[in-house]
Amino acid sequence: DVKVTQSSRYLVKRTGEKVFLECVQDMDHENMFWYRQDPGLGLRLIYFSYDVKMKEKGDIPEGYSVSREKKERFSLILESASTNQTSMYLCASSLYPVNSNQPQHFGDGTRLSIL
């Protein structure tokens, strides 16, 4: 089974802090994704990566950056945390789409609160 592991289930930080969310997958997937999920807004893509050191902006990249130094690890960075970044953060991974039928597999999520 695919295993996507997020480093923290719950995290509380203060405004202005630099926050790191870590995600590791064990299935040698090329693609990795960071989403945030808010009530009524669904899953919104922040960034994704299709290869080591490669990254692409998603729909809401402002205030975030990412790092992918190794294939199995994809980090989300909140440069200067703000209260409107309080959310559930979900990491996902998928195989490179030789065909288009590769699903995403999600980690357990990190519920981040910014005070």
Q: Is 10 in the site for another protein (CB under 8 A)?
A: no
CB of 6 to another protein, least distance (A): 9
Q: Is 98 in the site for another protein (CB under 8 A)?
A: no
Q: Is 108 in the site for another protein (CB under 8 A)?
A: yes
**Residues numbered 12-31 forming contacts with another protein, rule: CB under 8 A:** 31
Q: Is 79 in the site for another protein (CB under 8 A)?
A: no
Q: Is 95 in the site for another protein (CB under 8 A)?
A: no
Closest CA to 20 of 106, 112, 94, 88: 112
Q: Is 50 in the site for another protein (CB under 8 A)?
A: yes
| Part in contact with another protein (CB under 8 A); list of ranges 12-20, 65-73, 79-87, 94-102 | 94-102
HEC profile of the chain? CCCEEECCCEEEECCCCCEEEEEEECCCCCEEEEEEEECCCEEEEEEEEEECCEEEECCCCCCEEEEEEECCEEEEEECCCCHHHCEEEEEEEECCCCCCCCCCEECCCEEEEEC
Closest CA to 69 of 55, 82, 58, 80: 55
Q: Is 47 in the site for another protein (CB under 8 A)?
A: no
Binding site for another protein (CB under 8 A): 31, 33, 40-43, 45, 48, 50, 56, 58, 90, 97, 100-101, 103-109
